[in-house]
Structure 1
Amino acid sequence: MSPNATATLRAVAVAVVLLSAGCLGTPGVDTPDAGPATTESPATVTPTESPATPTEPTTAPTTTVGTIPDDCTPARPEGVDPVRDDVSPVAYPDAPAELTAEAAGEWAETFEEAYLRNDNLARDTVSFGASAGVENVTRVDGGYVVRVRASWYSNTGDVRTGTASPTVVHADSPVYLSTYLVTDAGARRASTTGGANDHPNVRDGTVVACF
């Protein structure tokens, strides 16, 4: 065989070896089949419900305002009957015909005026006036708490001398801040003066009416 033919055969053999290596890949190593890329769905988050906010009771417990005892006995001033015929104590109001917020407020207002009059009349009182106004009414278990602001004035004179024109002394009271508990069974009163800004707790008051 000629030298040229021998060189040609060697070149063909090398080409065949190279082609075989490229088709078969690297021996002993598997080439994975790459499939289409997958996207994971995000986890679904279920929101948790917030606990319900407790609602405030519409009425206050009687432990915060007191009660009217079964053996109810009122403690209230009945008043001194002055010498002047046109100045006299007044009767306290009867129980409300129907216990409503409006009726409780009107009752406490009238009672406060009567209480202040009967508590401050003197034998030589020439004239007297009391004025009360309801500030607010709150529903509680079994009744209503009524807050009242009141005051009074008084004119007194030495009528014992029998003179036609006695010397008259005028007096104005401080402001009374009174709190009432009005129920179907009776009423309780707590009061303060002297520039206090807050009404007293009626739980610490006195039973002033029994129905």
Structure 2
Amino acid sequence: MPASTASRRALLAVAVVSLAILGGCLGQSGGQPSETAERSDCPDDRITPVPYPDPPAELTNESVRAFVADLERAYVYTHETGENVTRLAFDPEPDAVTRLADGWSVRVETGLSRYSCADGTFAVGDGYYTARYFLNESVVYRIREGGAGPVADPREHGTRLRVGNATGDR
């Protein structure tokens, strides 16, 4: 075996062992719903609401997918904020875009980490949710799904959003 290959393997072994040892210190998530760590003070910055994006001029599979991802980001920054929230980490992923006779149905899966600080105590809560959107040229509806039951139609049970020319409740 050449010396360079042996050196690479040794370096890889050291890296793997280091990550295994430090993994608990770096990640600290362990799948728990929330964790806290004592700190002397909280940062002054807080999450602020983000305006909803304008809908695309033309509704295509690609434009609807991108719009709903951006809209879900804005929705989370508007509705998951709170007095003590200091950071949100998430990446909404539209995984099912379906063209219907009267518009588009989009399912979005999102893992969300919500960081907060109160009285010098930092906490993080991790979760996962699914949202479903219905949209066309004049309306946008959203509903948050949960459980293993049948999927509700956002037009019947969701919230109508005010987005661009699509007027609604929020």
TM-score with structure 1 setting the length: 0.51
Partner of 2:99: 139
1:92 corresponds to 2:52: yes
Q: Number of paired residues? A: 121
1:110 corresponds to 2:70: yes
Q: What is the aligned counterpart of 1:191 among 124, 139, 144?
A: 144
Task: Report Cα offsets for 1:29-76 as digits up to 9, x if no partner.
Answer: xxxxxxxxxxxxxxxxxxxxxxxxxxxxxxxxxxxxxxxxxxxxxxxx
1:22-37 → structure 2 map (5 Å cutoff):
none
Amino acid aligned to 1:85: D
How many percent identity over aligned positions?
Answer: 26
Amino acid aligned to 2:124: H
Offset, 1:101: 1.4
Partner of 2:129: 176
Q: What SS class does the counterpart of residue 91 from structure 2 fall into?
A: strand
Flag the structure with higher strand content: 2
Q: What is the aligned counterpart of 2:86 among 101, 126, 132?
A: 126
Distance in 2 (CA, whole Å) between partners of 1:150 and 1:199 is 16
Partner of 2:109: 149
Offset, 1:198: 5.5
Q: What SS class does the counterpart of residue 181 from structure 1 fall into?
A: strand
Distance in 2 (CA, whole Å) between partners of 1:168 and 1:120 is 17
Asked if structure 1 preserves the Cα contact closer than 8 Å seen for 2:46 and 2:83, the reply is: no
Distance in 2 (CA, whole Å) between partners of 1:137 and 1:143 is 11
Task: Report Cα offsets for 1:141-189 as digits up to 9, x if no partner.
Answer: 232111111131111112xx5xxxx22011112x222111111112111
Flag the structure with higher helix content: 2
Partner of 1:46: none
Q: What SS class does the counterpart of residue 123 from structure 1 fall into?
A: coil
Q: What SS class does the counterpart of residue 209 from structure 1 fall into?
A: coil
Structure 1 pair 178–199 and aligned structure 2 pair: CA distance change class (3 A): farther
Amino acid aligned to 2:122: V
RMSD: 2.1
1:201 corresponds to 2:161: no
TM-score with structure 2 setting the length: 0.63
Query: Where in structure 2 are there 5+ consecutive unaligned residues?
Result: 1-42, 166-170
